[in-house]
Amino acid sequence: QVQLQESGPGLVKPSETLSLTCSVSGYSISRGYYWGWIRQPPGKGLEWIGSVAHSGSTYYNPSLRSRVTISVDTSKNQFSLNLSSVTAADTAVYYCARHDSSGYSSEFGYWGQGTLVTVSS
């Protein structure tokens, strides 16, 4: 059973960088699939941030591209999100998820439980 678990600080100061890691169990990232980050501001809808392949290839949401870096560490079976220059608008629950096929143009079949990140001084 594929399981994903987000980890990282729950509070980040404005203008700093938000860093989260997704640990994957039950499946080796190096075997394939794309792995993504999605966020959900409190009480609002879902926004795709970007996705990374096991090879390190990335696709980002253009609305966040200038501030986002997603990377993969197959040796640790993890992938990570860095979002720079955060503001209060970046306060959200951040989910990591696995795409359901080998391409990034696919649905998300497995999700982590999500972690709330609050941007505040």
Partner 1 sequence: DIVMTQSPDSLAVSLGERATINCKSSQSVLYSSSNKNYLAWYQQKPGQPPNLLIYWASTRESGVPDRFSGSGSGTDFTLTISSLQAEDVAVYYCQQYYSTPLTFGGGTKVEIK
Residues interacting with partner 1, by CB under 8 A?
36, 45-48, 51, 59, 61-63, 95, 97, 100, 104-109, 111-114
Nearer to partner 1, 1 or 121 (CB): 1
Nearer to partner 1, 3 or 55 (CB): 3
> How far apart are alpha carbons 71 and 15 in whole angstroms?
21
Asked if residues 47 and 116 have their Cβ atoms less than 8 Å apart, the reply is: no
DSSP secondary structure letter of residue 120: -
Asked if residues 4 and 98 have their Cβ atoms less than 8 Å apart, the reply is: yes
C-alpha 78 chain-centroid distance: 11
Min separation Cβ 78 and partner 1, Å: 18
Min separation Cβ 51 and partner 1, Å: 8
Nearer to partner 1, 59 or 74 (CB): 59
Q: Is 21 helix (H, G, I), strand (E, B) or coil?
A: strand
Min separation Cβ 45 and partner 1, Å: 5
